[in-house]
Structures are given as structure tokens and as C-alpha cells.
Amino acid sequence: MMKNTIAADLEWSSLAQKALNGECLTVEEGLAVLNAHNDEILPLMQAAFNVRKHYYGKKVKLNMIINAKSGLCPEDCGYCSQSIVSTAPVQKYTLLDKDTLLAGAREAMARQAGTYCIVAAGKGPTEKELDQVVDAVREIRETMPLKICACLGILKDGQAERLSEAGVHRYNHNLNTSKANYPSITTTHTYDQRVETVEKVKSHGMSPCSGVIIGMGETNHEIVEMAYALRELDADSIPINFLNAIPGTPLEKSGRTSAMKALKVLALFRFICPSKEIRVAGGREVNLRTLQPLSLYAANSLFVGDYLTTAGQDISADHHIIEDLGFEIELNAL
């Protein structure tokens, strides 16, 4: 038994060193991470932490979301309670006014979040909606030391430029799943459209944020492919969501991702995208449960507070996790 443990320690350490050397894991190595025996989780997370510590030390970036426009979405994304095919009872409202968006920014600061994420349901923003966001962003930039991330859907020509000029630091548009699995999740837009939007925001000087949702019927091989895709896309920030199956959505009967599997996924993304911000995002509370603290040995970022239509845990619990680990919050961090 001891020999096997030592061999496992060496294997995970070698993957960490490979990541630090700038080499990409092979498919076989990626699958080995995802298929690791649960008894090996601590040496695996230690190896991931060696990479995380090299780039980020013990600092943790905090992000806060505001659901700036809820429901009323024409898309058929199977995981989303705001989609046109969902029967989940969610609030429906048009884009929040500037004062409400500014109040959200002040709340982000109170929670010690360095990045404030303005998220709006829909295929993409109308020009009127973009005007409202641009107006709010300009005032936030003038009055608060916050980084701003916008997540407004697929952007039309000229819209990325306007957001960049207004002072949006980062734009989020998740790939969500593998290219092969995409048609089983959404049919009203394509995987390639999502890639094109990320490339568009990069070309206009905004930091690209793009991540995934684990637990939507993908295979382990496809999880490795997702990590490769985000490495190739050169996303600066990678939110790793774990499906929170909401009653009334097409994926309502999906089971949760086990905490052990979730940790292995986070380690995989740290190895394949070693220098990037890896964020434990939606669904962490219900999937990782009591093992949430271990996630920060691979990830260096958290969403704090509520998500779009589901509740997060109390902010004090997140602050306590960071404090108890001996880590520290990175204030005003992009």
C-alpha cells in the first residue's frame, strides 16, 4: 500500500512540474486525474496547489454577480431556469436601472469582492440595454476601485468596442460544455458563436472570461477537451460551475457531481491552464458541500453571495474558509 501511495505522489508531482514547465498534459494524463482513486485526493490537491501557489501564492480573488436582467430569455439552454423552455418560478424583469447597478457595486465592495459581474439573460444586448450598462459602468469606474466584468450574451459588431471604451475590464461568455455535447444542451445558438464572442472581446482589449458547467452528461474525455479548448482560447479567467439541477429545467433530473469528482476537475483545469484564474463558481455549495475549502488548493477565485437565480452561502462562511486556510483575500484583483 505504501509503495502505491508513493507512486501516486510522484505521478501527481510530475504533472505539476509539467504544468510549471509550460507543457500541456496528454489526454491520458488528464483522464488519469479524473479517474484518480479517492484515496489519492490529498496528494493530487497538493500537486495542484504547488502550481496554484507558484502563480497566485495564497491569495483568493472574490467576484460578485448581479442578475441585471432576469428571465425573458429566448434561448433554450437546458441548465438555465431563465430559459424559454424552463418552467421554474423565477423573477422576470428588464434591465435594472443605473441606481440599482451602482448599489450592487457598493455591495460588492462591502463583501471585499474585487470584481463586480453585471450579468443579463438573453441572446445579446439591445442598443438601449447596452446604453444603460455603459452609463452605469462609467460611473462605477469613476467612483469605486472595482474591476468590472460584463456578461450580456453574444455581442453584435461595435458592442464590444463600446463596452471596452466605457471601462469594462473583462467579458464573460462560457463555452459551458464540449463542442460535441453542445447540441444536446442548447439549440438556439452554437458553440462556435460562443467562441467567436470570446475572440471578439479579446480583439477589443477586454480580458476574456470563459468557463464550463460540469454535470451535463459530458464524458471525462469531454471534460479534458473543455480544458484544452479554454487553454487554446487563452481565457484569463475560467469559472468552473457544477450543475445545480433546478426543478423545471430540462436537466432537473441530473444528479449532483460528487465532491471528490469536483476536486479532480479543479485539479485538472489547474494543470492544463496553470497560470489562469480558476474560479469555483455556481453549484459549489451543493456539489462540493463540506469539501469546499479543499477547492481553493486548486482554484484561486470564488463567487461570493447569490448566483443568478440560486442562493449562495453567507459571505461570512466564505471569509471564514479563506481565513481558516491561512489564505488572504486579494482586494481589487482582476
CATH number for position 208:
3.20.20.70
Q: Could you report the per-residue pLDDT of 130-186, keeping only the tens digit for each?
A: 999 999 999 999 999 999 999 999 999 999 999 999 999 999 999 999 999 999 999
Q: Could you report the per-residue pLDDT of 212-266, keeping only the tens digit for each?
A: 999 999 999 999 999 999 999 999 999 999 999 899 999 999 999 999 999 999 9
Judge whether 12 lies within some domain: no
Q: Is 266 helix (H, G, I), strand (E, B) or coil?
A: helix
73 is in an annotated binding site: yes
80 is in an annotated binding site: yes
pLDDT value of residue 305:
85
Is the pLDDT score of 2 beyond 50? no
Judge whether 14 lies within some domain: no
How sure is the predictor about 82, in pLDDT bands with cuts at 50, 70 and 90? confident
pLDDT > 70: percent of the chain: 96
306-314 mean pLDDT? 82
Cell of 260: 471528490
Which range (71-75, 292-296, 314-318) has the least confidence? 71-75
pLDDT value of residue 25:
96
Judge whether 276 lies within some domain: yes
How sure is the predictor about 310, in pLDDT bands with cuts at 50, 70 and 90? confident
The count of structural domains within the chain is 1
Judge whether 311 lies within some domain: yes
Q: Which residues contact 18 (CB under 8 A, 6 or more apart)?
A: 25, 29, 271
Q: Rounded mean pLDDT of the chain?
A: 93
Q: Are 146 and 116 in contact (CB under 8 A)?
A: yes
pLDDT value of residue 312:
85
Judge whether 5 lies within some domain: no
How sure is the predictor about 118, in pLDDT bands with cuts at 50, 70 and 90? very high
Q: Could you report the per-residue pLDDT of 44-63, keeping only the tens digit for each?
A: 999 999 999 999 999 999 99
Judge whether 334 lies within some domain: no
Q: What are the Cα distances from residue 191, in Å, to 72, 173, 179, 185, 195?
A: 22, 11, 6, 10, 7
Q: Measuring CA to CA, which residue among 277, 276, 279, 273 is closest to residue 23?
A: 273
How sure is the predictor about 331, in pLDDT bands with cuts at 50, 70 and 90? confident
Return the axis-axis angle of helices 2-20 and 259-272, rounded to nearest 10°.
40
How sure is the predictor about 7, in pLDDT bands with cuts at 50, 70 and 90? low
Q: Which domain holds residue 93?
A: 22-329
Q: Is 158 helix (H, G, I), strand (E, B) or coil?
A: coil
Judge whether 58 lies within some domain: yes
Is the pLDDT score of 8 beyond 80? no
User: For residue 218, with 0-12 CB atoms within 10 Å meaning exposed, 13-18 middle and 19 or more buried, which class applies?
Assistant: buried
Judge whether 263 lies within some domain: yes
